[in-house]
Structure 1
Amino acid sequence: MEDKNIDKGCCCHTSKHRSEKEYKDLMNRLSRIEGQVRGIKGMLEKDAYCPEILVQVSAVNAALNSFNKVLLANHIRTCVADDIREGKDETVDELVKVLQKLMR
């Protein structure tokens, strides 16, 4: 269930230009995660032992958390910092809402 305020954003942002380095890093992380998920699917198809699957699921969760940390840090360093400099305090409210969702 997505919060419609997050999708639209509390500020005027609807997209984000990323540097080539940032884009490649995020895409590489997601590709590795995608491969891990396919590996888990393969384990299930081959009737792997449950604890082995659970360990791999834990690794995917850790990789997703790492992805979130990198994306959040980049967001704070760019969008949030720029908006605060421009006096757009509503971006802080948006960030607080996102952090609350991440900490569930």
Structure 2
Amino acid sequence: MTRSFSLFGTLFVAAGLTLASAGASAQMHDHDQHAAAAPDNPDVLAEGGVQKVDKDTGKLTIKHGPLNNLGMPAMTMAFKVRDPAMLDQVKAGEQVRFRAERANGSLVITQLEVSK
């Protein structure tokens, strides 16, 4: 009987420690990530790959990660550019970091840099 209680007690304690450890690690997180993903933080740039540069329409097609400031998931889409000179900075196949914002009912790239 003592052996059963001892085994049960050991299992019970081990399960409790495992749950406590899992709960503690789930509650711990890096607060700096909140600042980096803040929707209104103008310093946070999205990343993506240029699929197409269309100078005739003034648009870049980018396969991008999440656009946290716009609440958009990762996808491929065409964006207008605020400054047509941005189209000369990149070419299809390059990786970029950028910021897109809503302006006059459209999504416009307001900041663009080639990833290194």
Larger radius of gyration: 2
TM-score exceeds 0.5: no
TM-score, normalising length from structure 2?
0.28
More helix by share: 1
| The structure with more strand, counted as a fraction of residues | 2
Normalised to the residue count of structure 1, the TM-score between the two structures is 0.31
| Larger RCO (CA within 8 A; separation ≥ 6) | 1
